[in-house]
Structure 1
Amino acid sequence: MTLYRQLLIWMLIVFFTLITSVFVIQFNTTRNFLREQQSTEIDNAISAVGLAVSPYLEAGDTIATESVINATFDSSFYSSVSLELLQENLSIKRTNPKNITGVPEWFRNIIKIEPIEKSTTLTSGWLQLASLSVTSNPAYAYLKLWQATIQLTLGFISTFLLGALILAVILSKVLKPLKAIQSRAKEMSVNQFGQALAVPHTRELSDVVKAFNHMSAQLKLHFDQQALEADRLRIRAFQDPVSGLANRSYLLTQLESWLDTSAKGGIALLKVDLIKDRYDQNGYEAGDLLVQSLASRIKNLASDDFTIARLSQAEFVLLAPNTSTSELKSIGRTMLLMSSELQSDPLDVRPVQAAVGLVVRRDSDTISSLLAQADNALMQARQQPKEPLALFDNIQQNSVMGKLQWKALVDEAIANKRFKFKFQTAINDQGEPLHEEVFAYIEKGDKNYSAGQFVGAVEQLNAGTQLDMHILDKLFQQLTANPDMGPIAVNITQSSISDTGFIRWLSNKMKSYQSLSDRVLFELPEISFIKHSNDTDLLCEMIHQNNFAFGIDNFGHNFGSLSNLNKLRPAYVKLDFAYTNKIDDEAKADLLTSITRTASNLSIVTIASRVETTKQQEKLAALMVKGFQGFVVDKINKEKTV
C-alpha cells in the first residue's frame, strides 16, 4: 500500500470518528430534548387544566368539566387522560390511539422513547376535588427524532465526502514532491536520468530532493564517464584517431573473420596521392584536414557488413563481403569520385590523384595474399590514367548472382512461401538459454540460400521491407501456434528501419500480438543507429511502448558511442567479432571489460558470437561477457539433448 493511501485512510478514520462523535452527541441531545419537551408539555397542560376546571368542580358542573377536558386534550400529543372526581365518585377518561406513522419500525425498535405519565390532585382550599392523570404519546417525539436523524445522516455523509475529497487533494499536493522522488527512483533503477527535480517548500522534503538530485547527477556523471572511458579505449585499440575510421588492427581482425567463413565478396584499396602530397608540402595539420574530409565522404559507403579502414597515411581499405564483381567495381568508382572531390579543379581537367585496386576473394586466399593482390591491382591501376582502377578477379566469381537476380529469387520465395527457419541459441554465463536467433533461408530444389547471400543485395536495392514483413508474419504465426516456443530474436534490415510504412505496419502487428511481447526480440543493425538515427530512435520508442524489446547487432563495428546505450535501452548488444577475438591481448581485454562493465551497469546483456571453445567462453565470462553464441553453445545444447 502506498504512503499516500495509508495517510489518507488513517486521516479519514480520524475524521470519521470525529464526525461520528458529533453525530452521536447531536442525536442524543435531540432525543433528550424531545423527552424534556414531553414532560414540559404535560406539566403545562396539567396546570392549565387545573385552573380551568377548578371552578366547575366546585360548582359540581361535570358537563363543563368534561368539555374543558375534551377541549384541552383533543390532540395526539397525549395518549390518555383520566380525571377522578373525588366527591361524586365519578371518572372522566379520554384515550387517543398510539399509532406512529412516518417512522420505520426498526428505528422504533432500536430507539426507545417511553411515554411520560404525571398525576396531580386538584383542590379548592383544603378541599380535594379531583385527581388528574395525563400520559404522553411518544409518536410526535419519534417523528421529530426520525426527521432529525435523516438530516443528521445526510449532513454526516455530505460532510464526510467533502472532507475526504479535500483531504485527498491536500495530501496529493503535499506528497507531490515525494511522488516525483518515487518516479525518479524507478527511472534511476533502470539507469535513466532526467532533469533535476524541483525543490519543494517543505523543509524535510526539500532536503531529500536536494540530496536526491545530487545523487542522480553523480550517477549520471559516473555512467557518462564509464562510456567515455570505453570509447577512449576503443579508439585507442581499433580506431584511427585522425579519420575516425577503423585502423589496421581492426581491419586485420575483420579480414580474418571474413576469411574463416564461406562468404564471397572482395576488398578495395584506395591510395590518394593528393593526401601524401599535402602532408609533404603543407605539414600534418593540412594533411589531417584532407584525411578527415575524405573520411567523412567514405563513411557514406558504410554498412553493417562493410568495414572501412585507414591502412596507412594515404591508403584506405574497404572490405565488402557478399558483393559481386560489378558491385565491387561500382564501389571502387565511387571511391575515386569521392577522392576527386578533394581536388581544387573547377574545370575538371586534372587527372584524379588517386587509384583503386580491387580484389575478388578466392577460397584459397589469406590475409597476406589478399593485401598483396590489392597492392598489385593498385600498381596496375596507376598505369591507367583515364580511369585509375584495376580489378583482380577469379574465373569462378563470374558465376556469382547479381543484385537483381537475388531480388528476383527473394520475391519468388516470398510468393511461393519457400522461406525456412533455423535457430541458434544464445546462453548466459550459467548455461541457461537467453533466446534463440532465427536465421531465414530459401529452399529451392536441392539448394539452400542463406540470408547472408541475399540480404546484402536486397538492402542495396532498398527492398528489405517486403522480406521483413514476410519473415515476421511467418514467425508470429509459428509462435502463436507453439506456446512453448521462444523467446526468438529476429533481424530487421536497414531499409525497413528507414521505411515509415514498415514502422506503422510493425506497430499494428505488435498491438495485435501483445501476448508475444516477452517472446519476440527485434535485432537491429548498429549502422542504422548512425545512418538513420531518427527513424531508428522512433522504431525503438515504438517497440518500448508496445512492451517488446530489441537488441543491437554487430555492436562496435561502426564505432557508435556507448553513451547512447542509456537512451536506447536495448535488452542486449551482440558484440562485433573484433572485440571478442584474441582477448589474450591486454589492450583488447581492457577494452572489452570496459564495454561490458558499461553495459552491465545499464542492465544490458552483452553477447559474444562465434564462440568456438569452452576455454574461449570462460575467458569471455571472466571479462564480464554475459551471453554466448556459436559452436560451443550448439555443442552444450546437443549434450543436454543426448
Structure 2
Amino acid sequence: MARKQNTLNRKQRGMATLRTILLVFTGSLLVILLVAVFITSFGYFRNYVSDQLAGHARDGATAIGLSLSNAIDGRDPVASASLIDAVFDSGRYLSISYLNFQGEPIASRAMTLNEVRVPAWFRSLADLPLPVAEAEVVRGWSRLGTVQVISHPGRAYRDLWRITIGLTASTAVIGGMGLFALFVLLRRTLSPLHALEDQAQALGQRDFRKRVVIKSTREINRVTDAMNQMADDLGQLFEGQARLIQHLRRINNEDPVTGLASRSAFDQRLKVEVETEEKAAPGVLILIQLADFLGYNQAYGRDDADRLLLRVASVIADFVTLHSGAFAGRRTGAEFAIFLPAAMPTDAGVWCRDLVAELDGVYADLASTRETAVHAGLAKTRKGRGAKDLMAAADEALRNAQGGGESGCQLADPEKDGHHNLETWRVIISQAIRQQNLSLWLQPMVNESRLLPLYHQVFSRIESAEGPLKAGIFVPLAERFGLIADLDRLLVQRVLERLAKFPDRPLSISLGNASVADETFRSDLLAQLERAGSLAGNLWIGISELAIHHHRTAVGLLVRALGRLGVPVLVDRFGVGGVPFSYLRNLRFQGVRIDHSFVHNIDSHEDNRFYLESVVAIAHSRGVRVFATGVETAAEYSVLCELGIDGAMGYHLGRPFAADNQLTGE
C-alpha cells in the first residue's frame, strides 16, 4: 500500500499544477499579444522610414534637376559633375547619376552600404527598399537628360534600430510586469488550493483537525467552507464512534460500579496469561474480600455500599499501576482479584499485607463503629496449574485467612516455592544481555487471501541451563528490574541483522513499556533504524496500549519519528489498556493487534464479537489495519475472517519456530 501511494505521489508530482497551467496559458496570451503589437509597430515604423527615405530621394532628384536646368547649364559636363559632386559629398545619398536620353552617364557618383552602423542581421531583417527617384533636366524647350537619385538608408536604419530597441525594451518591461502581476494574482487567488490539498491528504489519513483559513475568490471560499464543514462532520463522526467503542468496551469488560475488570473479563485475561504457552509467566494471584460486606450494605444502604466499593477499587487501581503488567477485577460482591505477573510469593506477600492494611483503614473509616476486616489469599502460578486451579488455590488461601478473624493474608502451599528467587532472575537476565544470549522465534501473521504471511511476530528466548526461557517469563521480570531497554536494544539489533539477510520477509517486535518511556532508548532505536535504511520499512514495531495510556507524550514522539523513517507502527495488546479509542485520531498507527483475551472463545462470546466488529469498522475507516492474536481454534478464525480482520496468528495458524529453522517452519 505504501509503495502504491508513493508511486501515485510521484505521478502527481509529475503533473502540472493549476497555477502553472493558468500562468502558462494566460502568460502565453500576453506574450503573443505583446509580440503581435511589437511586430505591428515594427512594420509601421519600417514603412514610415521607407516612405521618408523615398521622399528624401524624390526631393534630392527634383533639386538636382532644377539646378541643372536653371542655375547650371546641364549641357556642360564639367559643371554638371561639379554640382553632383557637391551634392553627393553631403553623405546623404547612396548614388546620384545624370544620364542623357540615350542612357549614357554624363556625371555619376555612388558608394556602398558598408558604413551603416547597425548590426548586419538587423539590416538583413529590416531590408529597407531603395527606390530610385528621377527628375528631368531641361533647357528652355529642350530636354537634356534625366537625374536618378537613391538616398542613403544609413540614417533610416539607425532610426529604425533605435525604434526597435525602444519597442523591445518597452515590450520586455510591460511583459515582465504583466507576467509578475499575473503570477502574484494567481498565487494569491489559488493559495487556498494548497491548503485544500493538505487538508484532503489529512482527511485521506483520517486526520480531521486541519482547517483552511485562507480566503480567496467567492467560489473558492465556498469550497473551503464546504471542506472545513466536512472535516468537522467527519471528526464528530469519529468521536462518536470512538465513544461508542469505548462504551462497548466498558459494557463488555468493566464492572459498572468500580470500573475494574468484570468477573468474566478478568477470568478470560487470567486464562490467557496463565495458560497460553507463549505468554505463560510466573506470577501471583491475589483474592481480596471485605468481611461482612452484606451487613454493611444492609446497615448503610446500597448507595453507601457502592461508594465503599468505589473507594476500595480506587486503592486497588493505584496498587496495580505500581506493578508493570498487573491487572485487577471485581469478582462478586466485595471480592476483588489481582494478578501480579513476574512476582515472587515473598514479595507479593509483603505488598499484599500493605494493601490489606490500607484497605482495612478505608473500610474502618466508612463503617464507623462496625467491626471490619479485610482478608486476602495468594496463590502462585506453577507448571500444570491452569487458571481454574490457580483461582481455587487462591480461594482456599482466602478461606484460611478468613478463619483467622483479623485482617491478614494467607499464601497457598508456601512450601512449594521455586528455586529461582529475584536475585537469581536478575543475574540470568543481566548475563544474557552481556553475552548477547538471545535467540529469535517467529510466529506467522496470516491472511486467508494471501499465500505468504503478512509478517512474522518475533518472540525472544534466553538460553539457560534448564533450556530456552520464553519471553513471557523473563520480560515482565526485566521490566521490573529496569533491564527491558537493554533487552530491547539487543532484540532490535538481532532483528535488523535478520532483515539484512532476508529483506523480503517482514518482521514485527513488541517494545517494553519502560523502553518506550526511556528517552535514551528511543534515540538509540531511531539511530539503529536510520542506519538500517530501507530495511526499517519491513519492521513492524508494536507499542502496548498500556504504554499509550501511561506515557502518551513519549509514545507520540516515538510514533511520529518512526513515521518519518517509514517504519510501520501498531498498537499492541489492544483493548486491555482502557484507553479512549480517540488516540488513533492524534497518532498515526498503521495497525492494531487485538489482545488474546478478546479473541478467546469469540465464536461463543457475542459481546466480544460485537465489540471487535465495531473496532474493525472504525479502524478501517481511518485506514488502520486490524490483527488478532491467540487464535487457537478453527471456529475462532472463521469468526475473525467474517469480521474482516486483516491478519491473525495463533497456534491454530502456526506455532512459533526458531528463526534459524524458518524454511522448515514455513
Match of 1:479 in 2: 499
Who is 1:225 aligned against? 240
1:233-312 to 2 correspondences below 5 Å: 233-261=248-276, 262-273=280-291, 279-300=297-318, 301-302=320-321, 305-312=325-332
C-alpha distance 554-118 of structure 1, shift in aligned 2 (>3 A) = same
Letter in 2 for 1:263: A
Measure the CA separation in 2 of the matches of 1:609 and 1:193. 30
Matching residue within 146, 157, 166 for 1:131: 146
1:418 equivalent to 2:437? Answer yes
Secondary structure of the corresponding residue to residue 399 of structure 1: coil
Contact 1:435/1:488, CA 8 A, preserved across alignment: yes
Counterpart pick for 2:179 among 151, 164, 189: 164
- 1:501 counterpart = 2:520: yes
Which range moved further: 195-204 or 82-91? 82-91
Query: SS at 1:122's partner residue?
Result: strand
Q: Are residue 187 (structure 1) and residue 206 (structure 2) matched?
A: no
Worse-superposed segment, 23-32 or 117-126:
117-126
1:641 shift after superposition: 8.2
Distance 1:304 1:161 in 2: 69
Of residues 572, 593, 601, the one that matches 2:591 is 572
| Structure 1, 37-46 or 81-90: larger mean CA deviation | 81-90
- The residue that corresponds to 1:631 in the other structure is 651
Which letter does structure 1 place at the counterpart of 2:303? E
Name the counterpart of 2:568: 549
Q: Secondary structure at the match of 1:316?
A: strand
The structural deviation recorded for 1:250 is 0.4
Residues in 2 aligned to 1:113 and 1:598: alpha-carbon distance in whole angstroms? 81
Secondary structure of 1:603's counterpart equals: coil
Query: SS of 1:271's equivalent?
Result: strand
8 Å CA contact 2:601, 2:636 repeated in 1 = no
Contact 1:498 1:536 in 2 (8 A): yes
- Distance (Å, rounded) in 1 between the aligned partners of 2:416 and 2:92: 123
State the 1:423 CA deviation: 1.6
Deviations 1:182-210 (A, max 9, x none): 32222222221115544846333343333
> What amino acid does structure 2 have at the position aligned with 1:283?
G
**What amino acid is aligned across from residue 566 of structure 1 in structure 2?**
R
Report how far residue 281 of structure 1 moved.
4.3
Q: 2:226 aligns with which of 204, 207, 211?
A: 211
Q: Matched residues, percent identical?
A: 26
SS of match in other structure, 2:73: helix
The residue number in structure 1 matching 2:615 is: 595
Does 2:631 match 1:611? yes
Tell me the SS of whatever aligns to 2:578: coil
- Whole-angstrom distance in 2 between the partners of 1:127 and 1:273: 156
Is the 1:272–1:355 Cα contact (8 Å) retained in structure 2? yes
After TM superposition, the structure 1 = structure 2 runs for residues 23-38 of structure 1, keeping only pairs within 5 Å, are 23-38=38-53
Q: Which residue of 2 aligns with 1:93?
A: 108
CA distance in 1, matches of 2:115, 2:426: 96
How far, CA to CA, are the matches of 1:600 and 1:131 in structure 2? Answer: 101
**Maintained 8 Å contact 1:418/1:444:** no
2:538 maps to which of 519, 525, 542 = 519
1:69 counterpart letter in structure 2: I
Give the letter aligned to residue 332 of structure 1.
Answer: C
SS of equivalent to 1:489 = strand
Distance 1:53 1:298, change over 3 A: farther
Query: How far 1:459 sits from its partner (Å)?
Result: 1.0
How far apart are 1:45 and its partner, in Å?
2.8
In the alignment, which of 21, 29, 32 is matched to residue 14 of structure 1? 29
CA deviation profile, 1:30-84 (whole Å, cap 9, x unmatched): 3222222211222333344445555442386765654443343335543222123
- Equivalenced residues, count: 637
Shift of 1:491: 1.4
**Quick check: 2:529–2:536 contact (8 Å CA) kept in 1?**
yes
Q: How far does residue 278 in structure 1 lie from its aligned partner after superposition?
A: 6.0
Distance 2:144 2:469 in 1: 131
Tell me the TM-score normalized by structure 2.
0.86
- Cα distance, 1:388 vs structure 2: 1.7
Structure 2 Cα separation of the partners of residues 164 and 285 of structure 1:
78
Residues 400-419 of structure 1: pairs in structure 2 closer than 5 A: 400-402=420-422, 404-419=423-438
1:502–1:367: structure 2 CA closer, same or farther, 3 Å change rule?
A: closer
Please tell me whether residue 116 in structure 1 is matched to residue 116 in structure 2: no
CA shift, 1:267, in A, is 0.5
Q: Greater shift after overlay, 141-150 or 372-381?
A: 141-150
> Residues 322-353 of structure 1: CA distance to partner in whole angstroms, max 9, x if unpaired?
332234235424533652563687xxxx9994
Q: Distance in 1 between matches of 2:52 and 2:74?
A: 34
Q: Where do 5+ consecutive residues of structure 1 fail to align?
A: none
Alignment partners' CA distance in 2, 1:113 and 1:54: 31
Assess if the C-alpha contact under 8 Å between 1:362 and 1:394 holds in 2: no
Q: CA deviation at 1:232?
A: 1.7
Counterpart CA distance in 2 for 1:162 and 1:326 is 86
The residue identity in structure 2 corresponding to 1:244 is G
Equivalences for 1:333-482 in 2 at 5 Å?
Answer: 333=353, 335-336=355-356, 338-339=358-359, 342=362, 353-382=373-402, 388-393=408-413, 395-402=415-422, 404-431=423-450, 432-444=452-464, 447-482=467-502
Q: Is residue 308–residue 363 contact of structure 2 (8 Å, CA) maintained in 1?
A: no
User: Following the alignment from structure 2 to structure 1, what is the Cα–Cα distance between the partners of residues 230 and 37?
Assistant: 49
Which has the higher mean CA deviation after the structures are superposed, 286-295 or 518-527?
286-295
Does structure 2 conserve the Cα–Cα contact (< 8 Å) formed by 1:304 and 1:526?
no
- Name structure 2 gaps, 5 residues minimum: 1-14
Cα deviations by residue, 1:5-52 (Å, 9 ceiling, x for unpaired): 322222222222212211221222232222222112223333444455
CA contact (8 A) 2:75 2:144 kept: no
Alpha carbons of 1:140 and 1:326: their partners in 2 closer, same or farther (altered >3 Å)?
farther
Alignment check: 8 A CA contact 1:274 1:354 kept: no
Greater alpha carbon shift after TM alignment, 374-383 vs 114-123: 374-383
Offset at residue 396 of structure 1 (A): 4.8
- Give me the whole-angstrom Cα distance separating, in 2, the residues matched to 1:81 and 1:381: 141
Match of residue 5 from structure 2? none
Distance change (3 Å), C-alpha of 1:117 and 1:304: farther
CA 396–344 in structure 1, closer or farther in 2 if over 3 Å, else same: closer
- Choose 565-574 or 280-289, whichever is displaced more: 280-289
The CA deviation at 1:215 is: 2.9
Look up the equivalent residue of 2:497 and give its one-letter code.
Q
Contact 2:485/2:514, CA 8 A, preserved across alignment: yes
Distance 1:490 1:108, change over 3 A: farther
Structure 1 residue identity aligned to 2:218: R
**AA paired with 1:239?**
E
Residues 597 and 114 of structure 1: CA distance in aligned 2, closer, same or farther (over 3 Å): same
> In 1, Cα distance between the equivalents of 2:184 and 2:105?
74
> Does structure 1 conserve the Cα–Cα contact (< 8 Å) formed by 2:430 and 2:483?
no
Q: Distance in 2 between matches of 1:398 and 1:507?
A: 39
1:202 aligned onto 2:202: no
For structure 1, which segment, 119-128 or 316-325, has the greater mean C-alpha deviation from structure 2 after superposition? 119-128
AA in 1 matched with 2:114? N
Cα distance in 1 for partners of 2:589, 2:155 equals 78
